[in-house]
Structure 1
Amino acid sequence: MLDALASLRDKLVLLLFATCAPPPPRCERVYRRGDLLEVPRTLFTHFGIYLGDGRVAHLIPDVLPAVTSDARRLRRKVTNARLLLGVLAKRASVRVDSVEDFAYGAGVRLNAHAMEGAGGRGRPDAEEAARRAERLVGSVPYSLLWNNCEHFVTWCRYGAARSLQTEQFCQWLKSLIRDPRNAFVAGVLGLLSVACLGVSSGTAVPAIVIPFTLWMAS
């Protein structure tokens, strides 16, 4: 009986210490200055260059630099409305934000980029990448396909502005155009538009030109 009580006492003591003990230290990833970071979005991946002290330089569409030079307003976190209008207006900012603001609620990953060593440059200089990113901070032109956040980071890291996401999209578009079935589908849709809306330059020209162009490109 006494042994059973002693065993129960020991278990209660262990349970008490396990409950009151402080939680283990939180393991946070340590990034180095010049690292290339990425954040997965729904349809694309967003990129940035880590500058140290929890700061990330990244290119993000932003319409505000086109309408104001107020530094205080420009430093505010970019909202979805500002971002969308920036895409339409083809304006962007290279800005420095905290890792949390850069992530925008998503997980941040260290990117060992597929362009490592592009152009025969070998291993990139991380410090030079960070310096390039800092020099480019400010308002810049934006293009969804030709000057986006991936072009910015690859220029900083490798000295060659490229976007693998753009290249993959263009490859998909090329395969779509070269498929002869799409010319047939376009022809059928053209005939249906003529049948429903009547014969006019607004219906007949697209009904002929679009299928013909797709057929010649296939």
Structure 2
Amino acid sequence: MAEGRRDPQPGDLIEIFRPIYDHWALYMGYGYVIHVTDEGSSSVLASSASVCTGKAKVKKEPLEKVAGNDQWRVNNKYDRSRTPRPVNEIIRRAEQWIDREVPYNVLNRNCEHFVTELRYGEGVSDQVQDAVNDGTRATLIGAVALLAAMAARALLRM
């Protein structure tokens, strides 16, 4: 499926452009997405010192509500290197997670990891990986600031 489309199909990855980070969701059909949020979770973040770990709640909500005023696009960018599961399997697996609490860690269990696990069977997040892999001190400091900002923003937004 083409990257950058605005006509989502069930099973598509939706990238939502937040001011500091990108939020990811999975399109379920009929205008709805599934995504992880701290809304309704029993514990949110242990502390910023623990790299923003805690619990998140899986929600099925209208794409327009999740995106708000932020721009979004279909972005199945990992289709180039991974084979998506069949759409009916993606949706079936996604529906099993609705309203469940899941572990959250901005480095290896974030919103992008969650939806790529559903689509491909493997959780991947270039957003974090790119920031961590660039070995410059400024980038590492920026990555830490990004992670803290992502966690703070998630708390305020959801």
Normalising to structure 1: TM-score of the pair? 0.52
Greater RCO, CA 8 A, separation 6+:
2
C-alpha contact (below 8 Å) 1:116/1:124 kept by paired residues: no
Q: Distance in 2 between the 1:131 and 1:165 partners?
A: 26
User: Runs of 5+ in structure 1 lacking a partner?
Assistant: 1-28, 68-84, 178-218
State the match for 1:108 in structure 2. 72
Deviation by residue 1:44-98 (Cα, 9 ceiling, x = unmatched): 1111111111110001234x3217xxxxxxxxxxxxxxxxx55746120111011
Q: How many residues align?
A: 127
**C-alpha RMSD of the superposition:** 2.2
Q: Distance in 2 between the 1:47 and 1:87 partners?
A: 22
1:90 aligns with 2:51: no
State the match for 1:46 in structure 2. 23
Residue pairs, 1:56-95, within 5 angstroms: 56-62=33-39, 64-66=40-42, 85-86=44-45, 88=47, 90-95=54-59
Deviation by residue 1:8-67 (Cα, 9 ceiling, x = unmatched): xxxxxxxxxxxxxxxxxxxxx5421111111011221111111111110001234x3217
C-alpha contact (below 8 Å) 2:7/2:74 kept by paired residues: no
Q: Identical aligned pairs, as a percentage?
A: 31
2:114 partner amino acid: F
The higher radius of gyration belongs to 1
Structure with the higher fraction of residues in helix conformation:
1
User: Runs of 5+ in structure 2 lacking a partner?
Assistant: 1-5, 48-52, 139-158
Q: Distance in 1 between the 2:72 and 2:19 partners?
A: 14
Residue pairs, 1:1-218, within 5 angstroms: 29-62=6-39, 64-66=40-42, 85-86=44-45, 88=47, 90-114=54-78, 116-118=80-82, 122-137=83-98, 138-172=100-134, 174-176=135-137
Deviation by residue 1:132-179 (Cα, 9 ceiling, x = unmatched): 21112211111111100000111011111111111112113x3329xx
